Amino acid sequence: MSIFDFQLISRDDKLYADIVRRFERWNRQETDWNWETYTIALIDRRRLLAAGRGIVNMGLVEIRGVWVEPEWRGRGVGRQLMAEIEAEAMRRGCTRAALDSYSWQAPGFYERLGWRCFGVLDYPNGTSRHWFVKELAPGPGG
């Protein structure tokens, strides 16, 4: 028995967007919270071959959505993509980067690029999620 009448909201995208807006207002009051995003992409004749997104906030870039088309893997495209994402982050003043990768994705790839795994979460189904961090060179004026 609950004293509060909580509701289950299954189609929750609109509600969650409202929650995010509230968190952003709160976070901006408490710190230098200021998200900026960018995407580095390799596009050939309007076909996306590789891309990755950087989310810059408080001197750190969180890298998400790194993708290289399967037929382009093993050619150095991913390595160059990561270098471009990191370089843009440094241009924007970031000195640290973070990302995560599931066990079936590319944790070994990131380790070969100098990323340090600082945490692993094992899921009940045998999958694991790996969190990485990398120190970047000082940003402009740093």
CATH number for the domain harbouring residue 58: 3.40.630.30
Least trusted range by pLDDT, from 7-16, 25-34, 58-67, 84-93: 25-34
Confidence of residue 2 (pLDDT cuts 50, 70, 90): confident
pLDDT of residue 131 exceeding 50: yes
Average pLDDT value over all residues in the chain: 93
Q: How many folded domains does the chain comprise?
A: 1
Question: Contact 50/106 with Cβ under 8 angstroms?
Answer: no
- Residues 92, 93, 98, 104: is their CA dihedral positive or negative? positive
Q: Quick check: 98 and 60 in contact, CB under 8 A? A: yes
Answer yes or no: is 22 within a domain. Answer: no
Residue 80: predicted pLDDT: 98
Is 98 contained in some domain? Answer: yes
Q: Where are the alpha helices (DSSP H) in the chain?
A: 13-30, 77-91, 107-112
pLDDT at residue number 95: 97
Report the pLDDT averaged over residues 99-112: 96
User: Cβ–Cβ contacts within 10 Å for residue 94, how many?
Assistant: 23
Examine residue 29 and state whether it is found in any structural domain, yes or no. no
Give a yes or no: residue 57 inside a domain. yes
Residue 14 lies in a domain: no
Residue 139 has pLDDT above 60, yes or no: no
Q: Note whether residue 63 is domain-resident.
A: yes
- Model confidence over 35-76: pLDDT tens digits? 899 999 999 999 999 999 999 999 999 999 999 999 999 999
- Residue 141 in this model has a pLDDT that exceeds 70: no
Q: Kindly state the helix (H) or strand (E) to which residue 64 belongs, with its residue range.
A: strand 60-68
26 is a domain residue: no
Domain of 57 in residue numbering reads as 34-135
- Averaged pLDDT for residues 118-139: 93
Is 40 inside a domain boundary? yes
> Predicted confidence band at 140 (pLDDT cuts at 50, 70, 90)?
low
